[in-house]
Amino acid sequence: MSMKPWKEGAGFVYPPASVRGRRLKIMGTGESLGGAFETVGIMGEGIVHGDLQAEEFKAMGSCRVNGSADLRKGRIQGELTVEGSLRAEVFKGLGQLMVRDGIAAGRLKVQGHLESGASCEVDEAELSGGFRIGGLLSADRLDINLYAPCQAKEIGCDRIEVKRSRIMDLKRRFTSTGPSVLKAELIEGDELRLSYTEAAVVRGNRVMIGPGCVIGRVEYAQTLEKSPGAFVGSEIKLGS
């Protein structure tokens, strides 16, 4: 997880002391150049041209950063598009977050839709809704609440729990967005608790395969539990 901004040597530079008190504020519709700020506040429709650094970033409405965003704390309600990478110590979003070049965060919480063109590397993540990750989804702790289709090329974590709302599942039967299922080629970690997941390979120490799962192969070191409503092609106990 070398992208993480708050660890020494990761290449992230917080705004220098000289920008303390420097604020960027957009109300209604507006545009601004990028740069380093103590606070950024956007309410309405805002465009930032270039890379952005901020101690605190808040946006309500629709916002686009035509560069990368390095934030200590970020919060959005609405839509945020980042044409470069997004790095944050804490980031919370309600709505839609789209990042072209990848995400690195300490804590990431998104309710709605998340899209990353490259990897998403976090310490802790809570994702409620749908997402599409173009590379590796990596976390120490990962909680996924399925309300829409979710997809990542690979998932690696210490602990992951995937669950789905029955109410939202019923609603999806009458929409065209597809079933609320997590899809990945490989899911690997220490403790895995999966439901409504489709994967070629699941590998872990303690593995629970819940209802709605379709798994090609499960490799486990300690324990394996399976729901009657799950399909597993083959099971391999590691070290035996």
Domain co-membership, 67 together with 150: no
Cβ atoms of 40 and 52 closer than 8 Å: yes
Cβ atoms of 85 and 99 closer than 8 Å: yes
Cα–Cα distance for residue pair 96/116, rounded to 1 Å: 11
Name, in order, each residue with C-beta under 8 angstroms of 106's C-beta and a sequence gap of 6 or more.
Answer: 4, 6, 88, 89, 90, 122, 123, 124
Domain co-membership, 60 together with 132: no
Cα–Cα distance for residue pair 125/157, rounded to 1 Å: 11
Domain co-membership, 85 together with 129: no
Domain co-membership, 123 together with 236: yes
Q: End of a domain among 78, 110, 142?
A: 110
Per-residue pLDDT of the chain (240 residues; tens, 9 = 90+): 334 444 433 444 555 556 677 899 999 999 999 999 999 999 999 999 999 999 999 999 999 999 999 999 999 999 999 999 999 999 999 999 999 999 999 999 999 999 999 999 999 999 999 999 999 999 999 999 999 999 999 999 999 999 987 655 545 554 445 688 999 999 999 999 999 999 999 999 999 999 999 999 999 999 999 999 899 999 999 875
Q: End of a domain among 58, 81, 110?
A: 110
In this prediction the pTM is 0.87
Domain co-membership, 41 together with 134: no
Domain co-membership, 137 together with 34: no
Cβ atoms of 157 and 140 closer than 8 Å: yes
Domain co-membership, 239 together with 131: yes
The domain tally of the chain equals 2
Domain co-membership, 128 together with 239: yes
Name, in order, each residue with C-beta under 8 angstroms of 98's C-beta and a sequence gap of 6 or more.
Answer: 79, 80, 81, 82, 114, 115, 116
Cα–Cα distance for residue pair 120/57, rounded to 1 Å: 20
Question: Could you tell me the residue range of the domain that residue 167 belongs to?
Answer: 119-240
Domain co-membership, 158 together with 220: yes
Q: End of a domain among 110, 137, 153?
A: 110
